[in-house]
Amino acid sequence: MKLNQATEIAERIKNELAPFCDRIDIAGSIRRRNPEVGDIEIVCIPKTVQQINLFGQEGSKTYPLLFCAIVNRWPAIKGKPTGKYTQRRLPEGINLDLFMADRENWGLIYAIRTGSATFSHHVLASAWCRAGYHSDGGHLFKGLNKIPIRQERDLFDLIGLEWKEPWERNL
């Protein structure tokens, strides 16, 4: 699909989901400004609702029903809207890859999902390994310590990489 058409679709989806998210943005090849787009990637932090158990105690957090209802309008290929990732088939014939992050890993997930896949693997992941970090479950760790990566630039600074604009990451 051409970049302008994919961007229009991605912006519409972003605007539909935004009221139910603390943060949401377009990533992937659209953010890198590729002339041809294979899928739409969006990273979001859905707002959560605190569940109360039978004893009146706060329990797990869940995503709002309206967030899930919007995502469930599109046929599922993989995952559920209550997990870390879901892939959906949009009526326009392009797939939506929706990644759910949290406040502590937004920068990491956004950087990885902006890509390119080669940049994420051979530049970002290689650099964090050289710097003594490892990733697990969508978070970065040094030993057993979870390292918050709240902004994309925080990741570049932490692992000693010079900032690259998204369109400079097409490897």
Instruction: CATH number of the domain at 45, please.
Output: 3.30.460.10
Domain-ending residue, one of 53, 77, 100: 100
| Stated pTM of the model | 0.91
Name the token pair of 86: 């879901």
What CA–CA distances, in Å, run from 169 to 83, 111, 150, 163, 164?
28, 10, 20, 10, 7
Query: Which CATH number is 119's domain given?
Result: 3.30.210.10
Give the domain extent around 112: 106-168
Domain-ending residue, one of 56, 77, 100: 100
Specify whether 122 is located in the same domain as 49. no
Number of domains in the chain: 2
Could you give the angle at the alpha carbon of 127 between the alpha carbons of 143 and 116, nearest 5°? 120
Separation of CA 13 from chain center: 14
Counts for the chain of helices (H) and strands (E), in that order: 7, 10
Question: pLDDT tens digit string along 26-83?
Answer: 999 999 999 999 999 999 999 886 656 566 655 555 667 889 999 999 999 999 988 8
Question: pLDDT tens digit string along 2-34?
Answer: 999 999 999 999 999 999 999 999 999 999 999
Q: How many residues does the chain have?
A: 171
Question: Which helix (H) or strand (E) segment is 6 a member of?
Answer: helix 3-17
In a 3-state reduction of DSSP, which class is residue 65? helix
Specify whether 132 is located in the same domain as 164. yes
Distance CA 71, CA 76 (A): 9
Specify whether 48 is located in the same domain as 95. yes
Domain-ending residue, one of 49, 65, 100: 100
